[in-house]
Structure 1
Amino acid sequence: MRHGIRFQVNKMLSQVLRSSLFSAQSLPPFRARSFAAVARHQQEKRRELFDRVIRVDHAGEYGADRIYAGQMTILANSGAGETIQHMWEQEKEHLRLFNDLIDRHRTRPSALLPIWNVAGFALGAGSALLGEKMAMACTIAVETVIMEHYDTQMKALEVDDSDEGKELLEIIKKCRDDEEHHHDLGIEHEGMDAPLYSIATCAIKTGCKIAIAIAERV
């Protein structure tokens, strides 16, 4: 009797073990496919984020380069010339960094670079024609928007632990710090004392925000 019960128990245990083994063997491929699909989705999202960030920042640094080029055309020999040249050199370095990222990530540049070229130069030269203080007011306005823009990007990239994400975050941090330095230089050089400062900077900020929204996509 006991032998029969022991036999039945062993038989049931064997069936349970076989069933568990079958389930364990059949589950990993499903999980592997699920993990692969999730990984592909995450990679696609990361790629979209990197492309958007690199494209708009490249366009922004290109525009900044043209703004200072326009200002230097008018104010190269003025009291503000040395300061503008200093800021321009830093913007040139930013542009070199993003040119490199464009190439390495194979990101499509903004299709509107010719427009940013003309608009940036016109803004720089136009503000300089209104005097050194207005040129500095232009810098304050532009850099205020760019700092906010970079802050938003940094928050998005801080959760990305990939090597590419960390590199991009460090580059943006460096550029952001330089832009804050430019903003402060604009204040030190009495940019806030420019005629119609509030109206002019409001218009410039609005234009910058529109340009950023467009450059992210086009």
Structure 2
Amino acid sequence: MSSFRILARVMRRNVQLPVHDFLVPAFFQPSQRCMSSTPKHNAATSPDPSSAPSVAKSKRKPLTKEQREYLSSALRVNQAGELAATLIYTAQTPLLVNAHPHLRPLMCHMYEQEAGHLKTFNSLIAKHRVRPTAFYPVWSVMATGLGWSTALLGREAAMACTEAVETEIGEHYNNQIRALLEMFEQWETEGYEVGAEFRELISTLRRIRDEELEHLDHAVEHDAKKAEPHWLLTNFIRAGCRGAIWASERV
């Protein structure tokens, strides 16, 4: 059987090929597509849905190359950041809890939330076939070293580390949310609806951002500002975070 006949048979059976996700351009129109925008229809002017061709229901506005690249880099850097956070807390916890047993519930709580964030982005990375950053091993070593060294300096330094990291992470998530909302506003202005999966992504980013900022509050409440020298330690860590974000977005 010729390849043309095989392709025709696939299309007649409405087979959903596995390339339909929000980062990969589609070559066939699926009957339903997440992570996409679909045109709005006016009920007064639209034809009877039962008589309309099925392809009209699946029509969508594809993402531009720049939008796909932005979403790929966002997921890649988020995964790397959450990996680093889990490793920082993993390295800090034994030293801190040994010296300050009352911190055990707090450290466990923050670690468990970070582990949940990492699981979320691992799932999204796999689902949308995004390549993880090539710096994954480097960030793993550096995050472990940062957690261990700040905990060795004492409780205040460890909390100052959390303060610095979560300040940068919170700002980073805010920038992503802002960029996505601007994208959605443009689609709606053009008469398109925002897909349910995109709305879920925004909700996920907001939830994770709020939990990261909660960690920032915990750090300040536990004397992060008393670390010496606070300004030098936090600025050094924040600069490192910005550099890691920049590199992970690109490589």
Question: Shorter chain as normaliser: what TM range?
Answer: 0.7 to 0.9
Aligned AA for 1:119? M
In structure 2, how many angstroms separate the alpha carbons of the residues matched to 1:55 and 1:67? 19
What's the counterpart of residue 50 of structure 1? 71
1:173 equivalent to 2:206? Answer yes
Match for residue 219 of structure 2? 186
Q: Deviations over 1:149-192 (max 9, x none)?
A: 11100001113323332222111111100011000000100111
In structure 2, the residue corresponding to 1:109 is in which secondary structure? coil
Query: Is 1:204 equivalent to 2:237 in the alignment?
Result: yes
The correspondence of residues 151-170 of structure 1 with structure 2, limited to 5 A, is: 151-158=174-181, 159-160=183-184, 161-170=194-203
Name which of 125, 147, 158 aligns with 1:135: 158
For the pair 1:86 / 2:79, whether they are aligned, the reply is no
Contact 1:80–1:132 (CA under 8 A) maintained in structure 2: no
**TM-superposed deviation, 1:83:** 1.2
Does 2:121 align with 1:98? yes
* Alpha-carbon separation, structure 2, partners of 1:52 and 1:163: 21
Superposed counterparts of 1:64-75, under 5 Å: 64-75=85-96
Gaps of 5+ in 1: 1-35
Percent identical residues: 41
Q: Aligned partners of 1:80 and 1:194: how far apart in 2?
A: 17
Task: Tell me the distance in 1 between the aligned counterparts of 2:130 and 2:79.
Answer: 10
Kept after mapping to 2: 8 A contact 1:157/1:166 = no
**TM-score, length-scaled by structure 2:** 0.69
Q: Deviations over 1:68-97 (max 9, x none)?
A: 111013223323232112111100000000
* RMSD across aligned positions (CA): 1.7
Ranges in structure 2 where 5+ consecutive residues have no aligned partner = 1-58, 185-193
Question: Could you say which structure has the larger radius of gyration?
Answer: 1
CA distance in 2, matches of 1:168, 1:217: 21
Which has a greater percent of helix?
Answer: 1
1:141 touches 1:202 (CA, 8 Å); kept in 2? yes
- Asked whether the 8 Å contact 1:73–1:125 carries over to 2, the reply is no
Task: Please report the TM-score for the alignment, with normalisation by the length of structure 1.
Answer: 0.79
